Amino acid sequence: MASRCASWGLVALAVGLVLGCVQQEGPVDPGPRKRPPGARMPVYRFAVHPLHNPSKLSQAYQPLLDYLNRHQRDVQLTLEASRDYASFEDKYKKGKPEFLLPNPWQTLRAIEAGYRVIAMAGEAADFKGLLVARRDSGLKHPADLKGKRVSYPARTALAACIMPQSFLHSHGINVTKDLENKYVGSQESAIMNVYLRLTDAGATWPPPWRAFQREHPEEARDLVVLWETEPLLNNSVMVRRDVPGARVEEIQALLLALNGNDEGRAILAGMETARFLPAADGDYDAVRDYVARFEREVRPVEER
């Protein structure tokens, strides 16, 4: 009976992680808030790109939104999840959320759509691609992946797709011809596809890999990071240009000071983020150059 229960538990885990990218998206309700009678409180949406499936994203980022809401007057921020990268990108292209936490490539596109950078979410050294495989895969060198299946969250995932594909290209692999590329919608799904032997290797980056090791230690023990890329800039925090400057400065100050108190450090740990750092649009020019070279040498980032 215990064996049967364990088997059903593993099946539930696999289905949840592989299909997590299709869970319900949209604003995450932080619960009721007391408002002064007759007060009209502005509500700003804070959209985070699909680092995790929507349920797990809420667990990781809702404490940050709660913290920001408690430390501001007369404003409410609501967390908005997206079922996949395409859905998130459609939102900022249409200028819907007031605040964003996009990856660096999405940052460039959001600047074009009317947003500006106010912070970087995490140390630059932590933004690098990882290629994960099963310990019994027999893969020793990047060239061993020729003819194999590789899973990624999305074509536009910078650390978890573009950077690993650039790494493989530099080791003699034509990623559009030599690999069977599977874009599976989320970081957890990219990893779990490897565990379930649906792909031979999977691309991710340090925060979701650390979370997977912590939350699913038995499955993680069967996996190993074979290769990692050089780091780049980390994810940004952005604001739509029509949000009042005083409000933006208040939120920016709260983010930059988050690692200065125990509650803030606990929130950062839950997001697998060391701290928020000052940043502006121009800091991401290095990403623009990197992506331009990738598109010249490897493939277009977006399907055409």
Q: Please report, for the chain, the start and end positions of each structural domain, with discontinuous segments joined by +.
A: 41-124+233-293, 128-230
Residues in Cβ contact with 303 at an 8 Å cutoff, skipping those fewer than 6 apart? 155
Beta-carbon count within 10 A of 143 CB: 12
Q: Which top CATH class is 41-124+233-293? A: alpha beta
Residue pLDDT, tens place only, 145-187 = 999 999 999 999 999 999 999 999 999 999 999 999 999 988 9
User: What pLDDT does residue 88 have?
Assistant: 95
Residue pLDDT, tens place only, 92-132 = 999 999 999 999 999 999 999 999 999 999 999 999 999 99
Residue pLDDT, tens place only, 247-288 = 999 999 999 999 999 999 999 999 999 999 999 999 999 999
Distance between CA 133 and CA 190 in Å, rounded?
11
Identify the H or E element spanning 117.
strand 115-121
Residue type, 267: I
Q: What is the pTM of this model?
A: 0.82
Same fold, 41-124+233-293 and 128-230: yes
Distance between CA 183 and CA 179 in Å, rounded?
12
Please compute, for residue 163, the number of CA atoms within 13 A of its CA located in the half-sphere on the CB side: 24
Nearest one of 208, 264, 218, 258 to 57, comparing CA atoms: 208
Is the predicted pLDDT of residue 74 greater than 80, yes or no? yes
User: What pLDDT does residue 11 have?
Assistant: 44
Nearest one of 26, 17, 29 to 53, comparing CA atoms: 17
Identify the H or E element spanning 81.
strand 76-81
The fold for domain 128-230 equals: D-Maltodextrin-Binding Protein; domain 2 (3.40.190)
Residues in Cβ contact with 136 at an 8 Å cutoff, skipping those fewer than 6 apart? 222
Tokens 């890329």 sit on residue: 229
Nearest one of 156, 104, 179 to 304, comparing CA atoms: 156
Q: For strand 130-134 and strand 201-204, is the pairing parallel, antiparallel, or unpaired?
A: antiparallel
Nearest one of 168, 111, 113 to 145, comparing CA atoms: 168
Is the predicted pLDDT of residue 27 greater than 70, yes or no? no
Residue pLDDT, tens place only, 218-230 = 999 999 999 999 9
Residue pLDDT, tens place only, 42-54 = 999 999 998 877 8
Nearest one of 4, 67, 3 to 30, comparing CA atoms: 67
133, 223 contact by CB (below 8 A): yes
Helix (H, G, I), strand (E, B) or coil at 7: helix
Mean pLDDT within 57-73: 94
